[in-house]
A and B are shown apart, each in its own frame.
Chain A
Amino acid sequence: MSRRGYRAPGAQRLVRWAPAIWLTLFFAAPFLLVVRLGFSEAATAQPPYRPVIDWSEGLAGVWAALQGLRLDNYALLLSDPLYVASALTSLQYASAATVLLLLVGFPIAHVLARQPEGRRELLLLLVILPFWTSFLIRVYAWIGILKPEGLLNAALLWLGLISSPLQIMNTGVAVMIGLVYSYLPFMVLPLYATLVKMDHSLLEAAQDLGATPARAFRSVTLPLAAPGIAAGALLCFIPMMGEFVIPDLLGGSDTLMIGRTLWSEFFSNRDWPMASAIAVVLLAVLLAPILAWRRLEDRAADGEAGQ
């Protein structure tokens, strides 16, 4: 122990290092394993893959491994239309859902941010509350609503809007509904955070200077909300790309999102290297959005510190 007395270096070191070590061990290191396994070959063994590097041979083994790196998984990924299609479907669904979420989430966040202070907190709580109830259950609830003999079809039939039940369940539409529904709080929250911080007098100033409310919105609100829009979009887009539960429960057999493909590669086909290769590709695709999101968050944090 140091004798500086007034300090407790042990405790401070623990505070600083414990989370870092935990995350390195259980978050960063596993991803290296995924990358490594993505270059392995499947085997009917336990675990069901052959290691890339045989550590018992030391450096020679590393060299041999480098020479023998199998790109087969990646070649197959690219050549098999199933994988390419599921990647494209994911991209398609995640992007479309992000746009929809913006269209649905922005008005809600905007209205919320303009409420009187007391009411605002309560309403925001109401918007976040569903996020606290089980995700799985909320997705499951939609099955009963969307299935052919479900509530929505019954209501539409009763209203006479349709004559025979619509096939919504097990289609892309159901997946979109599920995505928008499940991720709505994640979109509303960052949008709300930027909009509520916005000085209302800026809008008044714009109107005072002759801008109609619509123009004031376009030339002041939107540009100032841009960081929130970007943050919300990324916060939804990134996890949606790898979404499994929603396409699995609400989508049809043709709604192959990449997360679902990874899951079935892993659990059904027991092809761990292939699952890892998919994860590597997914990570590569998401790396840029994740970095962009991090930059935004950092800048927001810096901005707050500067104010």
Chain B
Amino acid sequence: MSDRLRGDGVAGAARSVKEARPAKERMGKPGRAGLGAVRRDFAPWADPAAAPVIRFEGVCKRFGDAVAIDNLDLSIYRGEFFCLLGPSGCGKSTLMRMLAGFEQPDAGRILLDGVDQAGIPPHSRPVNMMFQSYALFPHMSVAQNIAFGLRQLGLAKADIQTRVDEMLAMVQLAPLARRKPHQLSGGQRQRVALARALARRPQVLLLDEPLGALDRKLREETQFELMDIQEELGATFLVVTHDQEEAMVMADRIAVMNHGRIAQLDTPGRIYEEPANRYVADFIGDVNLLEGVAVGRVDDLWRIACPATGGEVLVASDAMLTAGQQVAVAVRPEKIRIDRARPPDAVNVIPGEVWDIGYLGDWTTYVLKLAGGETLKTSRANVSRRVAEPVTWEETVFASFAPDAAVILTG
């Protein structure tokens, strides 16, 4: 219960933060219709002429009997901030480790800038990795850690020093250059790891759960720092994470992974607002999945018979369905309104009894018990401090959502 509430809160925070960003160059064109918030006008994947910097072609990887990566194709473009998102064991880390050269694919090719990486050892690849544990060398100072990769390049001492200073300035750690890793806080260690991985100016930076070890507040700040650094350097960032908030906030595109396959590859907005299947809808954010059967089409609406709601719901969708097909109607909690009286103009109205109330400060979540016994989750932004007549437990209320607030899922 608490997990789901938190999940909703996180998604809510992510959205509100994104909309509150100052109108810099990263904002999309004003007034453009889109799904979710648009962060920047950057979509090389939509350009058929663009050459990807990373290509996975039919990559397979097994560990014993377990399939880690199942015939996977993926292209990532220069300057892209890309997230591999999925639960542990979905293969996302394996994919990244294959790119870094620590694992070899059993089949398929991995191309970096058009060059097949097969047989190239990790130390010769133009990628660098920020490790989940940070993997800072405990016997070296901060400056020595950052200089390590540069020393391997055989640069002159002075050049190394300059670059190290640059990196230290970038992550604001100049005063701590002589400290050893164990004398740093978690956040500082994370920055050293970032600076060390970026010092060689890799074409692609791989970040394995970059914020996983930080506490929540620091994580939010660091997300934006990472985005700023990425934009400043124009580098390609590939992030592996199991944290959907991280992926939603930072990524240009997200690949949601499940059992070695990509369940959906899209922008954060589309992933959230137009999930491709039940797995993605459920994994990202909070969702009500109402199982039902397609009945027929009315104009651009599909009529879906949902036993849980005790009737039919209308969903705006251009999905190609056949009557009688099993589908799920996915509705995000925040897209469901609740009223004390039946709203006269609403299309999809579902009566229910308030079962649980979760107050999160910025949001309040209401869990309704429907006539058939199923639950429906709704949430409301707390836009004012005082509420005259708050909805309370065991009250009967009417939940409603617009036809275009829901998505029909067949997968």
Chain A residues near B (Cβ < 8 Å): 199, 201-202, 204-213, 215-216, 219-220, 223-224
Contact = CB atoms under 8 A, between A and B. Distances in A.
Contact of A208 (B123, B132, B133, B139): B123
Nearest to A203: B135
Contact of B131 (A204, A211, A223): A204
A215 B196 CA distance: 17
Contacts of B136: 205
Contacts of B224: none
14 contacts: A201-B133, A204-B129, A205-B136, A205-B196, A208-B123, A208-B128, A209-B148, A209-B152, A209-B197, A209-B200, A213-B123, A215-B152, A216-B123, A219-B148
A230 to B, nearest CB: 14
Interface in B172-216: 196-197, 200
B188 to A, nearest CB: 17
Given A210-B200, A211-B148, A202 B135 contact: yes
Contact of A209 (B102, B121, B133, B149): B149
B133 A211 contact: no
Given A201-B133, A215-B152, A207 B121 contact: yes
Given A202-B137, A206-B148, A211-B148, 20 more contacts: A201-B131, A201-B132, A201-B133, A207-B102, A207-B123, A208-B123, A208-B128, A209-B148, A209-B196, A209-B197, A209-B200, A210-B123, A210-B149, A211-B123, A211-B152, A215-B152, A216-B123, A220-B137, A223-B139, A224-B139
A252 to B, nearest CB: 45
Interface string B115-135: 000000111100111011101
Given A209-B149, A210-B152, A210-B200, A204 B102 contact: yes
Of all A-B residue pairs in the complex, the 10 with the closest CB atoms, nearest first, are A209-B149, A210-B152, A205-B135, A201-B135, A207-B122, A207-B123, A208-B129, A223-B139, A201-B131, A210-B123
Interface in B142-171: 148-149, 152-153
Contacts of A205: 129, 131, 135-137, 196
B328 to A, nearest CB: 41
Interface in B338-380: none
Contact of A210 (B100, B135, B138, B153): B153
B100, B102, B122, B139, most chain A CB atoms within 10 A: B122
A199 B153 contact: no
Q: How large is the interface on B (under 10, 10 to 19, 20 to 34, 35 or more residues)?
A: 20 to 34
A199 B153 CA distance: 24
Nearest to A200: B135
B117 to A, nearest CB: 13
A223 B196 CA distance: 19
Contacts of A202: 135, 137-138
B120 to A, nearest CB: 12
Nearest to B147: A209
Question: Quick one: which of A210, A216, A219, A224 has the most chain B CB within 10 A?
Answer: A210
Contacts of A220: 137
Contacts of B135: 199, 201-202, 204-205
Contacts of B102: 204, 207
Contacts of B148: 206, 209, 211, 219
A216 B137 CA distance: 11
A204 B133 contact: no
Contacts of A201: 131-133, 135
A205 B130 CA distance: 8
A304 B149 CA distance: 30
A211 B151 CA distance: 9
Contacts of A213: 121, 123
Contacts of A209: 123, 128, 148-149, 152, 196-197, 200
Contact of B138 (A211, A212, A224): A224
Nearest to B129: A208
Contacts of A223: 139
Contacts of B101: 207
Given A209-B196, A224-B138, A204 B122 contact: yes
Nearest to B154: A210
Contacts of A215: 152
Contacts of B197: 208-209
Contacts of B196: 205, 209
| A204, A205, A216 pick with most chain B CB within 10 angstroms | A205
B65 to A, nearest CB: 15
B146 to A, nearest CB: 10
A213 B135 CA distance: 16
**Which of A201, A207, A209, A224 gathers most chain B CB within 10 Å?**
A209
B151 to A, nearest CB: 9
B116 to A, nearest CB: 19
Given A199-B133, A201-B133, A215-B152, A208 B122 contact: yes
A220 B123 CA distance: 14
